[in-house]
Structure 1
Amino acid sequence: MSQATPTDTGGIHAPRAGARAWFALVVLMLPVLLVSVDNTVLSFALPEIAVALAPSGAEQLWIIDAYPLVLAGLLVTMGTLGDRFGRRRMLLIGATGFAAVSALAAFAPTAGLLIVARVLLGFFGAMLMPSTLSLLRSIFLNRDQRRMAIAVWASAFSAGSALGPIVGGFLLEHFAWGSVFLIAVPVLIPLLIAAPLLVPESRDPSPGRIDPISILLSMAAMIPVVYAIKSFAVDGPTFLAAGWALLGIVMGTLFVRRQLRAQTPMLDMALFRRGSFSGAILVNLLSVVALVGFLYFVPQHLQLVLGMSPMTAGLALVPGMLAVIVAGLTIVPISRRFPPHVVVPAALVFSVVGYILVAFTTEGHGALPLIIAFVVLGIGIGAAETISNELILSNAPAAKAGAASAVSETAYELGAVLGTAVLGGIITAFYRGALVIPDAVPAEAAHAARETLAGAFTTAQQLPEAVGSALWDAAASAFESGVTVTSLIGAGLVVAAGVIAAVTLRTPASR
C-alpha cells in the first residue's frame, strides 16, 4: 500500500497537507457523525411516534424504509453531480436541506408528512456522504496522510453508531420524539459556517454532459433491489420481493451497458476491472453486513434476554465501537509496511474469532462475553474498513472521486440492509423454528410470541405468572439457539471477505 497506483495522482511523495486541512477534516466529520447517529436513533423513537401519530402498519414501515431507499438510490447520482458541479457545493446544499427538513420532521403532525420528510432527508443525505469522502481525496494528496484522514472519517461512522442508542435513550427520557430529528440542526450549522472557510472546492475539470437516462437507470436499479431485500426481511421470500429484485437487476444491466457505450460515462465501469477497486468494495460490503448483522441481534439479547435498559445496552456496546475506531487509526502505520492482501485478511481473523465467541459463549454467561466478542470483532472491521475505503479512492482518478465515493457509500448502505435482512432473517427463522410454545398458552398469544422475541416478551408479561415464565424461558432459549447459528454464518461471511481480500488486493491490476 505504500506505492501510488497508476490512477492515483497523490502518493507518498506528494505534498503534505497543513493544519487547515486537518481542521477541514473535523468539519467533514460532522455530517458523517450525524448520518450514522440517524441510522440507529430513530428505532428508539418509533414506539413514541406510533403513539403520537397512530400510523398504520404500512406507514410505520415506510417511516423507517423511506430514508434508506431514497438514499441508496441517489448516492451514485449525487456523487456524479458533485464531480460536475462541485463537491463542496453539493455538501453545503445537502447540509442546508437536511437541517431544514429535520426541523420540519420534528413537528410533523401526521404519519404521511413524516414519511415525506424522510424521503427528503434521503434526498439531501445522498448529497452529504459522497461529498465528504471525495473531498478528502482532493484535500489530502499525500497518501500516508490520506490513509489517516480516511481512518478518522471511518471512525466518525463508528462513533455515531455507538452514540445513537445513548443519544436516543437520553433524548427520549427528557424530550418528545421530535428531538431525535432536531439534533441535526446544531450539528450542521457549524458545518455551514466553517466549510466555506476551510474546505476547498473541487470538481471534475472535464465532466462531460449530464445523462438523465443514466441517472434514472441508476435509481431504477438501486431502489428496487433495496426494497426487495427489506421486503424479504419482513415477509420472507415472496413473488413481490422476487419481482422487485428482478426489476433492479434488469435496470442495473441496462445501466452498465449504457455506461460501457458512453464516451463520458456517469460511472466508469473500467474501475471494476481493477482488482483492488472491486475487491475493496466487496470487502467493504461484507464487513458492513457482518457488523450490522451483529448489531441487529445483540441489542435484543442485552435488553430482552438480560433485562438491560436501552441506554445501558447502548453503553455496553461502546467498548466494541471504540475498538473499531482504535483499530481504524492503528492500522494506518501498519499498512505502510505490509501490503493490503496481507493486512486485511489478518485483521479479519479477529472478526471471525469475535463471531465464534458469540456463538459459543452467549447462553447463560451474561453480558461480558458479548462485550468482549464485540471488541474483538470490531478490531477486524475497523481495520478492514479503513484500508478498503482508502483503496477505493486511490484507485479512482481524482476527477471521478465523487462517483467512486458514491460506490463505496452504496456498498455501505447495501451492507447495512443485507446485514439486517440476511442475518436478521436467519435468526428470526431459527427462533420461530426452535420455539416450543407451552400447552397452556392461548392461540392468539402463541401467534404473537412466534413473530418476534419482543412479541414473546410482551405476551409473557400479560399471561399468568407460571405460564408467562414458561413461555419466556422457551422464547429466550429459542432465540439463543438462533444466535449460535447466525453467528457461525456471520463468521463465514467474514472468512469470505478475507479470502476476497487475499486474492484481489495483491496488485492494482489484478482481476
Structure 2
Amino acid sequence: MTTNPTSTTDPAGAGSAPARAGRREWTALGVLMLPLLLVSMDVSVLYFATPAISADLRPSGTQQLWIFDVYGFVLAGLLLTMGSLGDRVGRRRLLLAGAAAFGAASLLAAYANSAETLIAARAVLGIGGATLMPSTMGLLRTMFTDPAQRAKAIGMWSGVMTGGIALGSVMSGILVEHFWWGSVFLVNLPAMALLLLLGPVLLPESKDPAPGRFDWPSVPLSLAAVLPVVYGLKEIPSEGWNPGYVVSITVGLLFAALFVRRQRTGTSPLIPPALLRGRGFTPSLVLTLVCAFGMMGSAIFTTQYLQSVLGKSPLQAALWSLLPSVLIGVAGPVSAQLVQRGVPRGHVVACGFAVSAAGYALLALAGTDSLWLVLAAAGVLACGAVMVLSQLTDLAMSAAPAKRAGTASSLLETGTEFGGALGMAVLGSIGTAVYRHAMPATAPAEARETLGGALAGAARLPGRSGQALLATAREAFTSGMRGAALAGAVILVLAAVGAAVTLRRTGADRK
C-alpha cells in the first residue's frame, strides 16, 4: 500500500510512527531526479560549447564571461529567496513553474541569435534552477517521513547532484561534436516536459500553513550579500587577489551583516532564527560549506592537469574525468546504511572527511605523468564528499520543520555555493603561489603567471627552448597542485575532528 503525504507538518512530531513511502513516492523521486540532474549539469554544460558559440555569435570578451557565469551567479543569488517562497506558495507549484521557465529558457538559449539573447536565456535558466533545487529537496522531505527511507533518498539525491556536474561537460563535448552548440540546451526539454506531465500526479503539494507576510526587503539584501562574495571568490583563482575583488567580497559581507540583522529582528523573515537553532542544523550548514570547499577546490587542478599537463583534448579529459564518478552512486547509500546499523552519525561524517583527506593525500603524490593516481585521488575525494553531504543533508532536513523544508534546503545549497567558490579561491591561490615560486625568473612573464601562459609562450619558442619551458611549467604546476592538496588534506582532517566533536555535543550524533 502506498502513501502520498500531503501534510505540512512532520508526522513524526505527532507521536505516531512515520508512514513509509511506497512505489508512488519512489517513482516520484525518480521524476525529481531529472530536474536535479539537469540543473547540476548546466553548471558545466558550456565547457566545450564555448568555442562553437564564440564562432557563431561572436561575443565580446565580457559577453563571453557573462554567457558562462551568469547562470551560476543568478542561481546562487536566488536560492534563499526561492526556498522561502516555495515554503509559502507551495513547493510543487514553484517546482512546476520553475520547470516551465527552465524549459522555455532552454529553448530560447538553443536558438539564440545574439550574445545578448543567450545571456538573457542563461539568466532565466538560473532563475529556474533556483526554484528547482530547494523545491526538490523540500518535496523529498515531505514524501519520505521514515528516517531510514529519507536517508536513502537523500543519499541518491547527493549522488545525482555530484555526478551531474561531471556529466554536463561530457554531454556538451559529445553533442557539440555531432550536432550544433544549441543541442546542449535542447536535452533539457524532454525532462522538463516529463516533470510537467507527471509532477501534478505524483508529487504532493506542501507548504507552510501559516507563513506570514513575505519579507520582500530581504530579497535585495540577500542578493547583495551573496552575489559580490561569490563573484569575488570565483574570480580570484584566475585573476589573483585584485583589490576590486577584495572590495567586492567586503561589500558582500557588509550586506550579509545587514541581512542577518533583518532576519533576527523582522516579524516574518526569509530565514527564521529558530531554524538555525534546530539540533545539528547549524553544524551541518558549516560542515557542508567545508565539504564543498574540499570538493570544488580540487576540481580546479584536476581538470587543468588532464588537459595542460597530460595533453589530453578537452573531450578526452572530460571522458577520463567520468571514471572517478563511477563509485559516487554507492557512497551515499552506504553511509546511510552505516548510520541505520548504529554507527554514530558523527563518526560516519568524520570518516567521510577522512576519506576525502586521503584523496588529497594521494593527489599530493602526483607527478607530471600520473593519470591513474590523479583519477584515483579524485574518485576517493568525491566518495568521501558524497558520504559527508548525504549525512549532513539528512541531518539538517530532519532537524528542520517540514514547513521550512524549502528554506532549509536553500540554506544548504547556498552554503555549498559559498564553500565551492571559497575552495577554488583559497586552494587555487596556494597552487598559483607555488607555481610562480617554482618558475625560474628567466622565464617569460606570461609563463611565470599561469600554466596557460606558459603553453602559449612555449608554442612561440623554437624547438628545445619551447619544450624546456613546457616541461618546467608542467612540473611547476604539479608542484602547486601538490601544495594545494596538502593544504586541502589538513583542512579536511581538521573538519573530521570537528565533525566528530560537534555532532556529538549537539546530540546530532544519534540517528
In the TM superposition, what is the alpha-carbon distance from 1:257 to its structure 2 partner?
A: 1.5
Query: Is 1:61 the counterpart of 2:59 in the alignment?
Result: no
Name 1:493's counterpart in structure 2: 491
Partner amino acid, structure 2, of 1:33: L
Cα 1:437–1:172, aligned 2, differ >3 Å: closer, same or farther? farther
Of 363, 366, 373 in structure 1, the residue corresponding to residue 367 of structure 2 is 363
Of 400, 424, 427 in structure 2, the residue corresponding to residue 423 of structure 1 is 427
Query: Is 1:201 the counterpart of 2:205 in the alignment?
Result: yes
Residue range with higher mean Cα deviation, 453-462 or 242-251: 453-462
1:67-466 to 2 correspondences below 5 Å: 67-274=71-278, 276-336=280-340, 337-360=342-365, 362-436=366-440, 446-466=444-464
Cα 1:458–1:243, aligned 2, differ >3 Å: closer, same or farther? closer
Structure 1 CA distance for aligned equivalents of residues 400 and 207 of structure 2: 14
Name 1:33's counterpart in structure 2: 37
In the TM superposition, what is the alpha-carbon distance from 1:431 to its structure 2 partner?
A: 2.0
Partner amino acid, structure 2, of 1:10: A
Partner amino acid, structure 2, of 1:161: I
In the TM superposition, what is the alpha-carbon distance from 1:249 to its structure 2 partner?
A: 1.7
The share of aligned pairs that are identical, in percent, is 45
So what's the TM-score if we normalise by structure 2? 0.92
Cα contact 1:275–1:505 (8 A) shared by 2: no
Structure 1 CA distance for aligned equivalents of residues 157 and 507 of structure 2: 27
The alignment partner of 2:45 has SS state of: helix
Structure 1 CA distance for aligned equivalents of residues 297 and 51 of structure 2: 22
Question: Can you list the C-alpha shifts for 1:199-256, whole angstroms capped at 9, x where unaligned?
Answer: 1111111110111111221122111211221233343223322322222222211222
Cα contact 2:263–2:271 (8 A) shared by 1: yes
The alignment partner of 2:422 has SS state of: helix
In the TM superposition, what is the alpha-carbon distance from 1:64 to its structure 2 partner?
A: 2.0
Residue range with higher mean Cα deviation, 271-280 or 391-400: 271-280
Structure 2 CA distance for aligned equivalents of residues 437 and 494 of structure 1: 34
In the TM superposition, what is the alpha-carbon distance from 1:31 to its structure 2 partner?
A: 1.0
- Alignment RMSD: 2.1
Cα 1:364–1:240, aligned 2, differ >3 Å: closer, same or farther? closer
Aligned length: 498
Name 1:442's counterpart in structure 2: none
Structure 1 CA distance for aligned equivalents of residues 452 and 175 of structure 2: 22
Cα contact 1:438–1:467 (8 A) shared by 2: no
Cα contact 2:225–2:256 (8 A) shared by 1: yes
Structure 1 CA distance for aligned equivalents of residues 142 and 206 of structure 2: 7
In the TM superposition, what is the alpha-carbon distance from 1:302 to its structure 2 partner?
A: 1.4
Structure 1 CA distance for aligned equivalents of residues 246 and 303 of structure 2: 30
Name 2:476's counterpart in structure 1: 478
So what's the TM-score if we normalise by structure 1? 0.92
Partner amino acid, structure 2, of 1:86: G
Partner amino acid, structure 2, of 1:504: T
Partner amino acid, structure 2, of 1:265: P
Structure 2 CA distance for aligned equivalents of residues 100 and 437 of structure 1: 53
Residue range with higher mean Cα deviation, 131-140 or 34-43: 34-43
Query: Is 1:10 the counterpart of 2:12 in the alignment?
Result: yes
In the TM superposition, what is the alpha-carbon distance from 1:376 to its structure 2 partner?
A: 1.9
Cα contact 2:70–2:119 (8 A) shared by 1: yes
Structure 2 CA distance for aligned equivalents of residues 182 and 455 of structure 1: 35
Cα contact 1:154–1:328 (8 A) shared by 2: yes
In the TM superposition, what is the alpha-carbon distance from 1:476 to its structure 2 partner?
A: 0.5
Partner amino acid, structure 2, of 1:395: A
The alignment partner of 1:43 has SS state of: coil
Structure 1 CA distance for aligned equivalents of residues 440 and 458 of structure 2: 14
The alignment partner of 2:48 has SS state of: helix
Runs of 5+ unmatched residues, structure 1: 1-6, 440-445
Question: Can you list the C-alpha shifts for 1:319-372, whole angstroms capped at 9, x where unaligned?
Answer: 322222211111111012122211111222111111111101x11443111122
Runs of 5+ unmatched residues, structure 2: 1-8
Structure 2 CA distance for aligned equivalents of residues 13 and 162 of structure 1: 39
Structure 2 CA distance for aligned equivalents of residues 232 and 159 of structure 1: 26
